[in-house]
Amino acid sequence: MTGTLLTNITLADGRRADVRVADGTVAAIRQAGHGGPAELTLDCTDLLLLPGLVDLHTHLREPGKEDAETVETGTQAAAMGGFTSVHAMANSTPTADNASVVEQVWRLGRAAGWCDVHPVGAVTVGLGGESLADLGSMAASQAAVRMFSDDGMCVHDAVLMRRALEYVKAFDGVVAQHAQEPKLTAGAQMNESELSGLLGLGGWPAVAEEAIIARDVLLAQHVDSRLHICHVSTAGSVEIIRWAKQRGIAVTAEVTPHHLLLTEELVRSFNPVFKVNPPLRRDEDVQALRAALADGTIDTVGTDHAPHTAETKQCEWTIAAMGMTGLETALPVVQEAMVETGLLDWAGVARVFSATPARIAGLSDQGQVDASGVPLEGSVANLLVWDPSARGVVDPARHATRSRNSPYAGRELPGRTVHMFYRGQRVVADGALATAYRHEPVAP
């Protein structure tokens, strides 16, 4: 058993090491220069080793919207972005609100083989917000669903939200809320501000997000259940979540890469690529979100990868679909917004992008790391070899995702995936998909 040897690679804690991958595991981590022989040796001088990334918030569109994305293309994009696990949101067609659909998505992920795909079950039937979906059957299915969300729609009925929080306690599930009070956002097109008035676009007030978060953390406290807040976007939301955590309420939260970097000023262009839900906010919100991710108030980064066809995105602003692609640019954005600003070190990146989301989702086989973000010997070899010194201009036409609605087109971003190991298989080699790679289905 000699496997693959990554020589002279930099670990998240700054040490240089030789790391051996064999039989699907991290077989050994040794001082650089002491790794021994191997079937394949990869010189990783000046490269960084990170645990495979985990995304709690991905839209893969299949079934029903394969013109925008498929599980195959979405997981290829995930692999190129450094992700070994993604959670597929329920707003497919048909909705993933029953065991049949979540098992279909789960099987498609296994057949594709680029990363683990964990379906997210809908909270309500058809995302309609009127009656609970069959949460128990989805939890008991082969997909073993543990996260439930009506993302794209808010569970705005307080009684239904309470019932959902109570129900998922039986199997240690979590409800992930898209916090948006619908009556406060009717006709909204962008962040409510002086700029929205100047541009003549319907405003999306911060309180529409904050009011739902405030209600839901109190509900979670009342029933003693787990709540996860999707795509936090305002400084006020950060303060509510911080308040809740100080009181021991079981709430976790995510922020998207685009909310860490982009602001509402981009809407001046009326380019629909910047139309997203929740909307791009003020610079003050961006700074508050960065600080909250650094201090742990916000737990993780979720891409909210939302591919759309050209027909639904390249049109006038008011009728354009909301959403941005993000799997392939997530880590570069976080490197620019958080690492290069000194707010996070690479151990912190490993925490917010891998260890913490894996813990929230209950992924015991994702691949364990220590407190410094260094993989543990014997754990599953879900590993990202990253070049932090690389810089490149984003060209959506070269992305693996089927859609092209990236807000970073033409922008220079740092970092590049060099190699990607998924359960010990090198699915990205020298910066490109290992398209000859095929795997035996992984065990559930």
Domain range annotation of the chain: 4-49+375-433, 52-361
289-341, pLDDT tens digit by residue? Answer: 999 999 999 999 999 999 999 999 999 999 999 999 999 999 999 999 999 99
Q: What pLDDT score does 162 carry?
A: 98
pLDDT < 50 positions in the chain: 439-444
- Measure the CA–CA gap between 19 and 6, rounded to whole angstroms: 5
Q: What pLDDT score does 436 carry?
A: 60
Helices assigned H by DSSP within 82-181? 99-112, 135-140, 158-168
Cβ–Cβ under 8 Å, residues 90 and 100: no
Q: What pLDDT score does 364 carry?
A: 81
Q: What pLDDT score does 35 carry?
A: 84
Q: What pLDDT score does 444 carry?
A: 37
Choosing among 3.40.50.300, 3.40.109.10, 2.50.20.10, 2.30.40.10, the CATH entry for 4-49+375-433 is: 2.30.40.10
- Measure the CA–CA gap between 7 and 342, rounded to whole angstroms: 27
Q: H or E stretch including 361?
A: helix 356-361
- Measure the CA–CA gap between 73 and 442, rounded to whole angstroms: 19
Closest CA to 266 of 408, 169, 380: 408
State the pTM of this model.
0.96
* Residue count of the chain: 444
Domains 4-49+375-433 and 52-361 share a fold: no
Q: Which of the residues are catalytic?
A: 304
Cβ–Cβ under 8 Å, residues 306 and 439: no
- Binding-site residue positions for Zn(2+): 57, 59, 151, 178, 231, 304
Of the chain, the end-to-end C-alpha distance in Å amounts to 25
Closest CA to 350 of 326, 384, 304, 387: 384
396-441, pLDDT tens digit by residue? Answer: 999 999 999 999 999 999 999 999 999 999 999 999 999 765 544 4
Strand pairing report for 16-22 and 25-31: antiparallel
Residues 6+ apart with CB under 8 A from 417: 80, 81, 82, 331, 384, 385, 386, 387, 428, 431
CATH class of segment(s) 52-361: alpha beta
